Structure 1
Amino acid sequence: MTIRRATPDIRTADMAASREFYQRLGFEEVMDLGWVVTMASPTNPTAQVLLVGPEAEPPQPDMSVEVEDVDTVHAAMVAAGADIVYPLRDEPWGVRRFFVRDPSATIVNVVGHR
């Protein structure tokens, strides 16, 4: 299994203030769906922070891991009896993903691009 990137998913009540904060750190906005904004390094695009606003539907993940083959990872998690808290699905913005709870109760968004 190939991991392409791992990013924190930061919950924010003030998207504008959070966006400005990460811009001052050197990140630039690369995606804005309104309820979620991706900030990335202009020199290393896999260095990212996801800002998740209060409009996001629960459950909300604590981190995202982009993998090469999300279906293979999903099958491995199901076979291991992992707690899938958001079922595998294709999202309208072009990703296939599921959420899984790790042993410490962290919710991980496992995602692949279609």
Structure 2
Amino acid sequence: MDINLHTTFLPQDDPEAALRFYRDTLGFELRNDVGFDGKRWLTMGSSQQPSVNIVLYPPGADPGITEAERQVITEMMAKGTFGSMLFSSKDLDATFEELQAADVDIVQEPTDQPWGVRDCAVRDPAGNMLRIQAAS
């Protein structure tokens, strides 16, 4: 089999804050900006990986989700336990310094983990946990 990652989804509850974070802070490209029924989906990605997309979506957009489920999702997003992504950086310490200078919500400074990677953790404006590990 030949399978590659094409698109992944991460919830956002404030498209303007998400755009500023992913485009202006992380340096990703805005590839698509779609509005429908008062909601907004942003497709972002790294210029170094043109075939990999991150869709930042409104968590209540699925018509099959109940109001109670939307509330649970909102609560989990606020705690950073609903959505997460793992990125890598060739220079983790320099990346961390840039994130710190940009006043990003820092969860963990660069740390050597017992499972063999060095990584740090931040949260995006929606509360999603983003871990960044040193590229090998």
TM norm structure 2: 0.38
Higher helix share: 2
TM norm structure 1: 0.44
Higher strand share: 1
In our comparison, the structure showing a higher alpha carbon Rg is 2
